[in-house]
Amino acid sequence: MGDEDTVNMKIKDVMTTEIISIDKDVNLRHVLKLMKKHEVTKIPVVEEKKLIGTISDNTIAMKLGSKRKAGVPASRLHASSVTDKQVEVVTPTTSVKTILQKVGEPGPTMLIVMEKDTLVGVVTKADLLPLVTSTKKLKEIMQKKLHMVSSDDRVVHARRIMIDNNIARLPVINDGKLVGLISDMEIAFAFAALKRSFPLGRQKHQLDELLVKDVMKSPVIWAEPGMTAIEAAKVMLKHNIGALPLLKGNTIVGIVTRTDLLKTI
């Protein structure tokens, strides 16, 4: 696919039309199950078939980990309580070029595609990855400033780093070696499971004592800094992952996310 093709593409050429949406009154436990089943981290929320916003693993982790909601299990919290009503809407004929220019800016990471008043599709960063054709090496585009945790760190500590630095995941490093990855999704599931398993009086303690090694994803799919952007995009699509830690020998030297790859288009 040439750059010329990408310039002329419309949203309808890249959007996902098999939409998983949820009613605002379903509980968060059900939402998490759907996310796991369909391997998605964001879902549109509807009320009487009308779109009202989106829900993400990030907002669920926030809600379940908040002191105000201590003791309330995911099965008692509704989707409406964590719905982000700030929705960016595009139409099937919107140019892909216009949305690529906004990649990496703060704002919604899922675009909702509406035709008249009907939800007809969604566009995520994963939908745009097939457009990456750059042969740039990852070492040219990788993020070198890394935030990391160890497997014995507390999850609340990892979560704080992620919130403070506005990042969705952290590499887990022990003695210089990459042993795992922790993201909003793992944290949201862990918080939900913990609230289900422990009585209210013990939840705060359990939440504070939860360790990264108890929830991290391991082993991790990684790449070398010499890999090209187009190769990395294929790896991310194949494994449905949002980032690749980059290793030189056994040492982590950087990380590349979907956003970094999309910026090469």
Q: Can you name the residues that pair with 180 across neighbouring β-strands?
A: 172
Enumerate domains of the chain plus CATH numbers. 3-124 (3.10.580.10), 138-262 (3.10.580.10)
Residues whose CB is less than 8 angstroms from the CB of residue 157 and which lie 6 or more positions away in sequence, other chains included:
149
Task: Report the length, in residues, of the chain.
Answer: 265
State yes or no: pLDDT of 14 exceeds 80. yes
State yes or no: pLDDT of 72 exceeds 60. yes
More confident call, 68 vs 74: 74
State yes or no: pLDDT of 39 exceeds 60. yes
State yes or no: pLDDT of 2 exceeds 90. no
DSSP 186: H
Instruction: Give me the amino acid identity at 25.
Output: D
At 101 the pLDDT is 82
Q: Dihedral sign, CA of 104, 108, 114, 116?
A: negative
At 198 the pLDDT is 77
Task: Report d(CA 226, CA 217) in Å as an integer.
Answer: 24
In this prediction, residues 117-131 reach a mean pLDDT of: 92
In this prediction, residues 95-109 reach a mean pLDDT of: 79
Q: What is the reported pTM? A: 0.85
For the stretch 164-212, pLDDT in tens is: 998 889 999 999 999 999 999 999 999 888 888 877 777 788 888 899 9
In this prediction, residues 113-132 reach a mean pLDDT of: 92
Helix (H, G, I), strand (E, B) or coil at 254: strand
